[in-house]
Structure 1
Amino acid sequence: MREDATITESVLEALSRASTDGPSESYSLGASDATDQRERELDELLSQVDGALPTDELQFDEAIVKENVDEILLMLIALREGAHGEQLISDVARFFGTELSPGTIYPSLHDLEEEDVLSMHAKVRTKEYSVADEEFVRSSLERSMIQHLAFGLLMYAYLSRY
């Protein structure tokens, strides 16, 4: 049992490093270099998380992605420093391996905008969303992270006894 605790600690430490490591530069919206850098940063974050877990390959079930769509959208919008719906649909498919329909993404964006968490900026042919309430985003993501970690640790503890 003590050996399992060590493994859990190392996984949690690695996840913590994955969430705090990486560039903290600010990027200007619209520049392709900045977009490429943000995409590399997202790839790097997922790679760090994948490397921290005791599994061969990190895969997200569609149900988990759908259940956490608000948190995923908030994270992607914050990392991109703004994004439009089509870009978010593409990001979810690329980074989470799940094809979510516009009928799933846009209602969530609209709800988050109505709750004043996001602000919407109408562009010529799209609507771009940005974070309006950074404190809410941080606390929401933290609350979700803690719940998922606690649930995962509970399952891990059960499996070590099974």
Structure 2
Amino acid sequence: MSGDNLRRVTTGKTMGDRLDERLTPLETVDDPRSNSGTASRDAIPESLLTSVIDDVAEGDLAVDDGLVTQSLDEILLALIALSDGGTHGTGLMEDLSQLFDAQLSPGTVYPRLHDLEADGTLTMHELVQTKQYLIEDVADAETQIERAAYRHLLVGTFLRASLDAL
């Protein structure tokens, strides 16, 4: 599936003062290049997307730690972006545990935060007993998160489409 087959849609939920948006596959009906009037096999049903969003929002999603680690930079950026006024490493580890049931060690999380800071994507402020992380380069953070979301969407779409073959 190419990027041309994706569209942004609002979920109706808000994060701060912005509507939450996500990328969803365009159905073949909406694709002018298509000659058929049926929905594409790789279109993700709205009910599946809604279910996943609800699971994430309610914290009912258990994900293998390896999958979280694979996209840890992007997940950390997203968690920091969603926090009001920044957050610290311990809070991020608690969020990872709560949202994904991921039990990552400080030796996994903190080096990633330091790398993101060294790249200029994050800024760190030393407080009395902790360090607070904030997004410094919004465009870079958005690009990283969008790329990771697209990669995961491609894998998820492939797996979803493979169910038809079973």
TM-score (norm 1): 0.69
Structure 1 spans left out of the alignment, 5+ residues: 1-11, 27-45
Question: Which runs of 4 or more aligned residues in structure 1 lie more than 3 Å from their structure 2 counterparts after TM superposition?
Answer: 15-18
Counterpart in the other structure of 1:8: none
Cα deviation for residue 112 of structure 1 reads 0.2
Cα deviation for residue 23 of structure 1 reads 4.1
Measured in 1, the distance between the counterparts of 2:15 and 2:159 equals 33
Counterpart among 89, 93, 118 of residue 89 in structure 1: 93
Whichever structure has more strand as a proportion of its residues is 2
Matches within 5 A, 1:102-113: 102-113=106-117
CA RMSD of aligned residues (A): 2.7
Name the SS for the 1:83 alignment partner. coil
TM-score (norm 2): 0.67
Counterpart among 69, 72, 94 of residue 69 in structure 1: 72
Whichever structure has more helix as a proportion of its residues is 1
Residues paired across the two proteins, number: 126
Counterpart among 121, 126, 135 of residue 125 in structure 2: 121
Matches within 5 A, 1:142-157: 142-157=146-161
Counterpart in the other structure of 1:30: none
Cα deviation for residue 145 of structure 1 reads 0.7
| Letter in structure 1 aligned against 2:98 | R
Name the SS for the 2:97 alignment partner. helix
Structure 2 spans left out of the alignment, 5+ residues: 1-5, 19-49
Question: Which protein is bigger by CA-based radius of gyration?
Answer: 2
